[in-house]
Structure 1
């Protein structure tokens, strides 16, 4: 069992290194694509595509004050964007009612595919 724990520790350390390297490469690729004013590019046999998404980040306190119904808040328990989106889609919560309870964060996703 000690060998398994040791192997796990080594792999987690390697994972951290890889994630750090991936983050650096991602930033360099994003910077290059953004500087060129593009959303897609081809480098050799690799196609790079930037996808922009907007994500809502809810303020728990504002949302709780707006949804003061304890039964409704019990369904959420905290501001889980997926749960809030489901409840608005089902029209349990009106989008207009909670519009002031979140900020929209724009993120860029990087997709790299081999052609």
Structure 2
């Protein structure tokens, strides 16, 4: 069991290091794109593409005020954008009722594919 735990620990450390390196490389690629004024480019056999998205970040207090029905609030338990989107899609919540309960956050996704 000692070997298993040791290997698990080693892999978790590798994972942390890999995630940190991925973040640094991602930041460098995004900076390059910003400096070049582009959202797509080719690098050898790879195609790089930046995709902008807007994500809703809900304010729990405002959302609770907009959805005073306790039964409905229990279904959410906290503001989960996926659950809220599902309830809107099903017609349980009207989009207009919650329009002032979130802020849009722009994020950039990085896609790297082989050509």
Shorter-chain TM-score category?
over 0.9
How many pairs were matched up? 115
Is there any run of 5+ residues in structure 2 with no aligned partner, and where? none
* Moved segments of 4+, more than 2 Å: none
Please give the alpha-carbon distance, in whole angstroms, between the structure 2 residues aligned to 1:65 and 1:6: 50
Please give the alpha-carbon distance, in whole angstroms, between the structure 2 residues aligned to 1:95 and 1:114: 39
TM-score under structure 2 length normalisation: 0.96
Please give the alpha-carbon distance, in whole angstroms, between the structure 2 residues aligned to 1:62 and 1:87: 17
Is there any run of 5+ residues in structure 1 with no aligned partner, and where? none
Please give the alpha-carbon distance, in whole angstroms, between the structure 1 residues aligned to 2:36 and 2:88: 38
* Matches for 1:1-115 after TM superposition, within 5 Å: 1-115=1-115
- Pairwise CA RMSD of aligned residues? 0.8
Indicate the SS of the match to 1:100. Answer: coil
Shift of 1:66: 1.0
